[in-house]
Amino acid sequence: MTRAGRAGGLLALVLAGALSTVATAQELVPLRRFALVIGSNDGGPERVTLRYAHTDADSFAHVLTDLGGVAPDDLLVLSEPSRDGITAAFADLSARVVAAHRTAARVEVVVYYSGHSDASGLLPGGEPYSYLRLRTELARLDADVRLAVLDSCASGALVRAKGGIARPAFLTDEASTVRGEAFLTSSTADESSQESDRIGASFFTHHLVTALRGAADADGDGLVTLSEAYTYTFRETRASTADSRIGPQSPYYALDLAGQGDYVMTDLRAATARLELGATLDGALWLRTADGHLFAQVDKVPGKPLVLSVPPGTYQVQLQTRPVAYTARVTVTPGRTAHVEVADLTRQDLFVDGRTRGDTEADPPSRTVHGQFRVAGTPLDSPKASVAVQGVAFHLFGGTVHSLRGGVLGLFGTRARHDVTGAQLTFGYTHAGGDLKGFQGSFFVNDVGGRLAGLQGAGIVNLVHGDSPQSTFGSQLAGVGNIAWGGRKGAQLSTLFNVHHGHLVGAQLAGGVNVAGSRVDGAQLSILGNQARDTVRGLQVSGLFNAAVGMRGAQLALINKAGDGDGVQLGLINVARRMKGFQLGLFNVADELDGEALGLVTIARNGYHAFELWTDDLTPAALGFKFGSKHIYTTLLVGLDPVDDIALSFGGGMGGHATFFDQRLYLDADIVLQTLEAPTGDLATIDTGFVTSLRVMIGGDVAGPFGLWIGPAFRVAIPIGAGAEAPLDTLMPRFDLGNGVQGAVGYQAGLRVRF
């Protein structure tokens, strides 16, 4: 049988097998939900600029993607948009909704706005965007349910002219047939909406997000409905603003819905991590992240546990009382539920920046001096030193003072029991029991018990162990290491290592290892490695490895590892749990990749994976495997000629993948390098040359994961060694390119199975 006959016969078998194994129809997904989230601090020159509109928008967007059934690709986020920008976003959203009806049984839309408004409409950037225009844009969206959430002053005017009844809807409940519009506003038409520096957000959005994360799940079914979310948010917002200077704020909602079912805003069963506040807890509970940010606050009733769906990380749970509080530190890991009970709480004295009436101090100095000289001063461990120095002190063999405003020169050790404003210069040990504003210099150890706003320089170790989440520090320089506990702003520089516990805003530079126990906003640079136990927003650069729970920026090292990444990973090995951005390396691994990766091997759970069986002009039968990100893939292949002497050829390459017409058709293009065919047991003939092919494959899914494809291939056979020839064994006409190089235009057709 000729090669052409064998190839044609195998192609017929491939096509017949494909047609006999595919299904006849493709099922629709139950629900697809879209969201448009807008944050605008700027209300124009006549209005005070808000502080937390962007923070509110981010918090609401995160809860929608975490628990609200909104895929990242179906989320539109606008920051400080113009009036025309909002109109363009609605047009984009409308087109997406129309396209989604082809693949989804139900389509729903959530629109959220945080910013300025008045009785007539929204005011993004000071430009009026009327409520009538907003309602018109909403009505044009061809969605089963349209929900608008407004966190702005007088936002209740949106629904003032039109009533409705509280008949709340759902995510994947097949019994739900509800359709129409729903509106949730932060205030009535006559009220102002308020934000708070204490919670770092608006009252309304803060309590709404807490509700959606599980605090409002009154019946414990794992679903938070619109009515449950409203009831909780109304109660907590009213309570939080009851004593405010502006007055109480009353969220409002109205519905124009018809049908049966319940509108579920979040599905807590989809959470990757949970925190359960046990039945024994009772009272006002504050939940803070590792860097001190207030994540949620709830009024816990005893006798019933409360489960919150939270991002993985470390949290501080605090039961608020005065003058003491009770706290517990808990780590929430993916796929598990962390528990906190009364028995887990420990007592914590609360300290605030303030004075009692009469401006007295709990531990005042006995006297104040403007100069001091000690040959052998107060022992360093003395708890009773009560002299405050305002000026210059000399401690030849150590000394202790109550507080310092000025400078100290000493040998072996200098200690201030309270605040230091100025400089401590000692060969040995320097200590400030309170805050330090100035400079500490020592050949051995510098220590600050409170906050550092200045500079530390030591031959061995610098310590800042004030654990207030709001504590700040300036710069630390050490010959061996730096340790900061709760600092927030500045830089750490060391020839060996840096250790930081709290939220770092600045930079860590070390000759050895950088470790941050919480979030880093800035940079970590080290010869050996960097590690952050929370999100890095900035840059990690290392000669060996980078590790971060989350990453927003760039990681550059031989090995990069991140939990949730948003940016770029550049290294030999890149690993991320969720990556939004780009990975460039020999080996790239991501559980969820929202972006692209380029490398020798890329493994992404939601990437492009396919097996292919085909015939072409080179081999009667070939089997290949494609794997990679959504649009960039690596391919490995083996060709087989089963007739006469069994011959094998091997190859691999890289290419690109694109889809069209709602992913019904696709186009793959790649460049592969193949060995020339060699009879099995005689692989020496591979040395005669290689075939380089530019392949183009056009195909489409027939049913389910099965599809058929066909396309041309442009081939060049390259010989090995001077004067050698590379015989191109193809069924198509060949042409000579000189120097033993041959070319041909070939064909290929086959079956693809996605997985």
Give me the phi and psi of 87, to 5 degrees please: -60, -40
Q: How many independent structural domains does the chain possess? A: 4
Structure tokens at 46: 């006549």
Give me the phi and psi of 440, to 5 degrees please: -120, 130
Give pLDDT, residue 736: 87
Is residue 424 situated within a structural domain?
A: yes
Place of tokens 């414990």: 220
- Structural domain for 691, as ranges: 608-754
Of residues 272, 169, 285, the one with CA closest to residue 236: 285
Residues 237 and 295 reside in one and the same domain:
no
Give pLDDT, residue 14: 42
Residues 306 and 199 reside in one and the same domain:
no
Is residue 363 situated within a structural domain?
A: no
Give pLDDT, residue 654: 95
Is residue 362 situated within a structural domain?
A: no
Picking from 583, 604, 625, the residue at the C-terminal end of a domain is 604
Q: Which residues of the chain have pLDDT under 50?
A: 1-26, 160-175, 350-362, 378-381, 467-471, 679-687
User: CA neighbours within 13 Å on the CB side: how many for 554?
Assistant: 10
Give pLDDT, residue 655: 96
pTM, two decimal places: 0.50
Q: Chain-centre distance of CA 166, in angstroms?
A: 35
Residues 534 and 465 reside in one and the same domain:
yes
CB atoms within 10 A of CB 102: 10
What CATH code is carried by the domain that includes residue 95?
3.40.50.1460
Q: What DSSP state is assigned to residue 117?
A: B
Return d(Cα 14, Cα 306) in angstroms, integer.
57
Give pLDDT, residue 54: 92
Residues 312 and 238 reside in one and the same domain:
no
Residues 576 and 688 reside in one and the same domain:
no
Residues 276 and 389 reside in one and the same domain:
no
Of residues 502, 496, 497, the one with CA closest to residue 473: 502
Picking from 269, 293, 318, the residue at the C-terminal end of a domain is 269
Picking from 579, 604, 629, the residue at the C-terminal end of a domain is 604
Residues 621 and 586 reside in one and the same domain:
no
What CATH code is carried by the domain that includes residue 317?
2.60.40.1120
CB 404 within 8 A of CB 426: no
Pairing of β 337-340 and β 346-349: unpaired
Residues 728 and 613 reside in one and the same domain:
yes
Sign of CA dihedral 77, 151, 310, 518: positive
pLDDT in tens, 144-188: 999 999 998 877 666 543 333 333 333 444 435 668 888 888 888
Is residue 6 situated within a structural domain?
A: no
Is residue 533 situated within a structural domain?
A: yes
**346-352: long-range contacts, CB 8 A cutoff, minimum separation 24:** 348/318, 348/324, 349/323, 349/324, 350/322, 350/323, 350/324, 350/325
Give pLDDT, residue 177: 61
Query: 448 exposed, middle or buried (CB, 10 Å; 0-12, 13-18, 19+)?
Result: buried
Q: Report the SS3 class of residue 600.
A: coil
Residues 638 and 574 reside in one and the same domain:
no
Q: Chain-centre distance of CA 608, in angstroms?
A: 22
CB 170 within 8 A of CB 264: yes
Give pLDDT, residue 486: 59
Residues 42 and 161 reside in one and the same domain:
yes
Q: Chain-centre distance of CA 678, in angstroms?
A: 50
CB 246 within 8 A of CB 161: no
Is residue 359 situated within a structural domain?
A: no
Query: 663 exposed, middle or buried (CB, 10 Å; 0-12, 13-18, 19+)?
Result: exposed
Residues 311 and 404 reside in one and the same domain:
no
Is residue 97 situated within a structural domain?
A: yes
What CATH code is carried by the domain that includes residue 733?
2.40.160
Give pLDDT, residue 414: 85
Is residue 238 situated within a structural domain?
A: yes
Place of tokens 């009436």: 357
Residues 83 and 212 reside in one and the same domain:
yes
Place of tokens 């493994």: 603
